[in-house]
Amino acid sequence: MSRIGKSPVNIPSGVEVKIEGNLVTVKGSKGTLSQTIDDCIKITIDGSIITFTRESDAPNHRAKHGLYRALINNMITGVSQGFKQDLEVIGVGYRANATGQLLELALGYSHPIAIELPKEIKITTVTEKGKAPVVSLESHDKQLIGQVAAKIKSFRKPEPYKGKGIRFVGEDIRRKAGKSASKK
């Protein structure tokens, strides 16, 4: 991870970065994010470039060097451009409907599943005839959008025989042959 930590981070125009002790705050057009940094990592800002240095070559310091560089880079990308995650709901009778911050899923259980999403996430659902419903999540916080997408996917993970379930758009599911394939 230290190779990642050595590369500098560019601050685009319209993004403001403040360092107060161990707290780094990044403010941009999409929102504001903050992250506490460990004492072993030092951050310096020279104009529009952020550099990260570590105090020693200890393994945990090297790991944190790359970790905090990646976290700050994701924060800067999030407040300037934002992140988007798309999920497909594949299965006969499977539906997804979003109203405000409430996502309602019908996934073949005896009851619909309703999940209240954080206000930082913008959700939209698209249902076209003949295609699987798509749930789109948008946010400036990469950690939060990944956590929410994983939670939604956990309600019905894609199964390997028919491929039914919730998956990321473009995700390949390793398919298995059924029982009839082995009876030859």
Range of the domain at 57: 2-80
Q: Are both 68 and 56 inside the same structural domain?
A: yes
Q: Are both 89 and 102 inside the same structural domain?
A: yes
Q: What is the pLDDT of residues 5-44, one digit of tens each?
A: 889 999 999 999 999 989 999 999 999 999 999 999 999 9
Last residue of a domain, one of 80, 115, 140: 80
Q: What is the pLDDT of residues 49-73, one digit of tens each?
A: 999 998 888 888 888 999 999 999 9
Q: Are both 75 and 87 inside the same structural domain?
A: no
Does 178 fall in a domain?
no
Q: Are both 108 and 140 inside the same structural domain?
A: yes
DSSP the chain: -HHHHHS-EE--TT-EEEEETTEEEEE-SS-EEEEE--TTEEEEEETTEEEEEES---HHHHHHHHHHHHHHHHHHHHHHT-EEEEEEEESTT-EEEEETTEEEEE-SSSS-EEEEPPTT-EEEEE--TTS--EEEEEES-HHHHHHHHHHHHHTSPPPTTT--EEEETT--------GGGG--
Q: Are both 71 and 87 inside the same structural domain?
A: no
Whole-prediction pTM: 0.86
Domain containing 23 — which CATH number?
3.90.930.12
Does 42 fall in a domain?
yes
Residue 183 has pLDDT above 90, yes or no: no
Q: Contact 134/88 with Cβ under 8 angstroms?
A: yes
Last residue of a domain, one of 80, 100, 132: 80
